Amino acid sequence: MDLRDSKLLITGATGSLGKQLIYESLRRGIRPIAMVRRESDTRYLDANNIEKRVADIRNQAEIAQAVKGIDAVIHCVAWVNFRQDKLTQFTGINTIGALDTYRACVKAGVKRFVQVSSIAAVGGNPRMSEGSSQPMNEDWVFNLEHLHIPYVMTKHAAERELRKAAADGGPELVIVNPSTIAAPSRTGDDRGKASKTFSRRFLPDLPNLVNLVDIRDVAPAILAAVEKGRPGERYLLVGDNIPVRELILKVAGLLGCKPHLISLPTWFYMSAAHAAVAWNKLTGREKTSFYPDLVRLKEYNWAYSNAKARVELGFSPRPM
């Protein structure tokens, strides 16, 4: 598909990745269309004279209007947060919203649908198992069903339901799974947040492998998935696999900090998580950001292979 001769709709166009996709599209001579909410900050889109279509991801009628006359859709809308509450809202945005958008695309005759999923929907490699440090690829079987983490649950469910819908006919479905996205900031906000984190007296010395990828490498790969990704396939858009300890030390070096790393047993984290949940219930606090299932993520390595995306999409992530 030649995107310069096609109508491309980007949902979630005012988010960090959405704006990077707009930038990358314009750089290539592609004029995308942005799907935005009424309350979205559209200054970047307006400054670049981007056509906007207003729709709420929870409003089927508005979605149907937004995808009319469109050839391809990059679906970026998602609620990215690891809190434990608000499962209904996570489901409505991450799962039902994606499925409703795809079904609207079926009726509108859209040719291709790229779902921007998450590496969390692929699964994790248990650290205590043989080969736990080996990178996972697109064939890894999802193994986090037992963890009640709404974001993970709903992103995996979206992939499952979209595959079912695509099997019945409709736009060609391609799924991309970025890992943790690092986004350079010209405002200094990211450095400020990092400095605040690293100013703490102690930081956890975790044994896990994690994966990061630069947003400037993810956007071109997603456009490549629209143009030449194979229907029904998924592509892991991942960068370097790195131990958490090494990551902390590298960031600390950039910030000029000397972090005090402390290694604590899992039972300590679990006890603290149970206490946090109990305190939230006692005080009536709704938001639950620290809980036992989140601690259980310590039991996995998050190392992935980008070999398939390199070969088929020309993906070339810069070093961490």
Q: What does the pLDDT look like over 85-113, one tens digit per residue?
A: 999 999 999 999 999 999 999 999 999 99
| 267/139 Cα distance (integer angstroms) | 33
| 17/216 Cα distance (integer angstroms) | 9
Cβ(293)–Cβ(149) under 8 Å? yes
Helices (H), 28-92: 43-47, 60-66, 87-90
Query: Residue 320's pLDDT band (boundaries 50, 70, 90)?
Result: confident
The DSSP secondary-structure symbol of 135 reads P
Cβ(126)–Cβ(299) under 8 Å? yes
Of the chain, the percentage scoring pLDDT greater than 70 comes to: 98
Query: Residue 2's pLDDT band (boundaries 50, 70, 90)?
Result: confident
Helices (H), the chain: 16-27, 43-47, 60-66, 87-90, 97-108, 150-167, 189-198, 215-228, 244-255, 266-283, 292-295, 307-313
- pLDDT of residue 189 exceeding 70, the answer is no
Helix axes 244-255, 189-198, angle to 10 degrees: 110
| Kind of pairing between the strands at 203-204 and 261-262 | parallel
| Strands ordered across the beta sheet of 240-243 | 180-182, 209-214, 240-243
To which residue do tokens 């390199």 refer?
310
Least confident range from 19-28, 99-108, 136-145, 199-208: namely: 199-208
Spell out the residues 6+ positions from residue 187 whose beta carbon is closer than 8 angstroms to its own: none
Determine if the pTM surpasses 0.75: yes
**212-253 pLDDT per residue, tens:** 999 999 999 999 999 999 999 999 999 999 999 999 999 898
Q: What number of H helices and E strands is found in the chain?
A: 12, 14
Write down the pLDDT at residue 93. Answer: 97
Query: Residue 197's pLDDT band (boundaries 50, 70, 90)?
Result: confident
* Cα 157 to the center of its chain, rounded Å: 14
Mean pLDDT of 287-312: 96
